[in-house]
Structure 1
Amino acid sequence: MTPAANSRTGMAPPVLLLALALALQGCTTAPQAPRAPSPAASAQGPAAAAPVTPQQQADLDAAMALVKAAQYDRAAEAFARLAAALPDNPIPPINLALVHKQQDKPELAEAQLRKALAIEPGNPVAGNELALLYRKAGRFSEARTAYEQTLAKHPHFAMAHKNLGVLCDLYLKDYACAIDHYQRYAESAPNDKTVQIWIADLQKRNGAKGPQ
C-alpha cells in the first residue's frame, strides 16, 4: 500500500472519543460532518428506551472520564454495568465496544456492536464501527454491507460515506463506488481538501470525467 493509500486509512478522527460523543448525544438523528468530541448533557438513546436516571447519567460521565484517562479496564467494567442496567439502550454497549477496541479485543467489540444494533437497528455509530472492525479483519464484503445498511438509514452520515469510499478504493478496487462516496462525503465536508485530491486521482486513473 502506498503512502498516499495509508493516509486514507488514517484520516478518520480519533475513533473512540468521536463515537463516544456521538453515542452519548443519542443516535435517533443522522450525524453530519464530524465535530470535536465533548461530554454530553444527556444519554437518552432511542425514544423507546427507558429514561436514564441522574445517577446513570453520572455513571456514564464517570465512565467517559475513565476512557479519557486511558483506564480502559475500569471503563469496560463501568460500561458493562451500565449495559446490564440499561438493556434497551444502545449507548452502553457501543461505548463498551469502543473500549474493547482500545484493548485490542475485536471479538468482544464486535459482540457489543451487534448487541447495540439488535437494540436499535441502523444505529449509525454502531454500524460504522462494526464496518471498521470488519475492514480491519479483512472481511471486506461484510464491511461494505454494514456501511450500506447504515447509509440506508442515515444517508447524510458523512463519515460512513468517507469510510465506504476508502473501502471501495483501497480494498475492493471498485472505483466508481469510491468516487461516489467520496463525493457524498465532500458535500458535507467542503473544507476537507484532501478528499478532493483523492477524487481527482481516482477520476484520472479510472478514466472518469469530473463533475460538470
Structure 2
Amino acid sequence: MKSCSRNRLSRSRRRPSRSTRPTPPALPKGCMTRGCARAWRAWPNSCPCAMPSPRKEKTLLPRWTDRLLSGLMALLLAACAGTAPPGRESATGPRSGDTLPAAYADALALMAAGDHETAIPVLEDFIKGQPDKALPWLNLGIALHATGQAERAFEALYKASQINPELPAIWNWFGILQREQGAFDAALKAYRRALDIDPDYALAHRNLGILYDLYLQQPQPALAHYRKYLELAGEDKTVEGWVVDLKRRHPGTHARVTP
C-alpha cells in the first residue's frame, strides 16, 4: 500500500533531552517540532493514503468508475505512502481479480481528494464489517493523522501492525508519528523495522535521511539515506535540494550508513 513530512528545526532548537522524550508506544499530547513553509508545501506529496502495488492495480482499474479512477491514479503517482513488497499485501489488500469494496473505494477517493475528515467515518464503518484487514486500519491511521488526531492514529496503526506486521508502510507511519512527537529513538527503530521488512522501501530511506539530518544531527547517514532514496525513487527535485543543502551546511560530508 501507499507515506513523510519534513519539518526543519530552527538553528537555536536542540534535540529534547532523554528525560523529556516520551517513552513509546504512548504518545505525548503536544507536538515538539515545528515545520517550515518549504516542508509544508512538500507534505501533500509525502503522506497520501496507502494503496496496493501498481502491479496489482492493473487488474482492478477497469472495474472502477471514472471518478474513482482519477482519484486512485493520483495516489499511484504520488511517491510516498509506499507499496508493500510483492506477495506481502495479499493478506490485507485485494487480490488480483478481486473487486474493491465500494465503501472502501469511496474512502480512498476521499483521501486522494484531501477530504480526510469525511473519509474517517466511511473507513470506520467499513472496518466494522471487516476488522481483520490491515490496510483499512492503516488508511484510517493516515486519515486521523491528517486531521490532527495523533493518539487515535497511533491506535489505528497499532491495530494494523497486529493484523499484518509485514507491511513496511505501517512502520514508516509509526516513525512519522513518533518523530513528530519528539520520540526520535522510537522513530529510528520504526523506520529501521520498515527497512528490515523491505530494504528497498524508498520512503523509509527518505524519512531516515530527514531524521538523521535535522533531528539527530548526523549528516553522514543522512546523506547515505537521501542518496539511496534517490536511487530507488528516481528524480526528486525536493530531496536533491536537501542533499545540496546538507553538503553546504556540512562541507566534506561523505555518505555513511549507520547500522
TM-score of Structure 1 vs Structure 2, range by shorter chain: 0.7 to 0.9
Q: TM-score, normalised on structure 2?
A: 0.63
Q: Is 2:130 aligned against 1:107?
A: no
Q: TM-score, normalised on structure 1?
A: 0.75
| Alpha-carbon shift at residue 189 of structure 1 (Å) | 3.2
Who is 1:47 aligned against?
Answer: 90
Q: Separation in 2 of the partners of 1:90 and 1:172?
A: 31
Who is 2:66 aligned against?
Answer: none
Who is 1:40 aligned against?
Answer: none
Who is 1:208 aligned against?
Answer: 253
Match of 2:50, SS state, is helix
More helix by share: 1
Q: Separation in 1 of the partners of 2:49 and 2:111?
A: 12
The aligned runs of 1:1-212 (5 Å cut-off) are 1=9, 6=36, 7=38, 11-16=42-47, 18-22=48-52, 35-37=76-78, 46-49=89-92, 54=99, 57-68=101-112, 71-203=115-247, 205=250, 207-209=252-254
- Say how many residue pairs are matched: 195
Does the 8 Å contact 1:100/1:108 carry over to 2?
yes
Q: Separation in 2 of the partners of 1:200 and 1:50?
A: 38
| Alpha-carbon shift at residue 148 of structure 1 (Å) | 0.3
Q: Separation in 2 of the partners of 1:148 and 1:63?
A: 30
Does the 8 Å contact 2:49/2:112 carry over to 1?
no
Does the 8 Å contact 1:131/1:146 carry over to 2?
yes
Q: Separation in 1 of the partners of 2:54 and 2:133?
A: 11
Structure 1 residue identity aligned to 2:136: P
Query: Would the alpha carbon gap of residues 47 and 197 (structure 1) be closer, same or farther in structure 2, given more than 3 Å must change?
Result: closer
Match of 2:182, SS state, is coil
Gaps of 5+ in 1: 27-33, 38-43
Query: Would the alpha carbon gap of residues 210 and 65 (structure 1) be closer, same or farther in structure 2, given more than 3 Å must change?
Result: closer
Structure 2 residue identity aligned to 1:136: E
Does the 8 Å contact 1:132/1:143 carry over to 2?
yes
Does the 8 Å contact 2:223/2:255 carry over to 1?
no
Query: Would the alpha carbon gap of residues 69 and 209 (structure 1) be closer, same or farther in structure 2, given more than 3 Å must change?
Result: closer
| Alpha-carbon shift at residue 87 of structure 1 (Å) | 2.5
Q: Separation in 2 of the partners of 1:114 and 1:36?
A: 27
With a CA cutoff of 8 Å and minimum separation of 6, indicate the structure with the bigger relative contact order. 2
| Alpha-carbon shift at residue 195 of structure 1 (Å) | 3.1
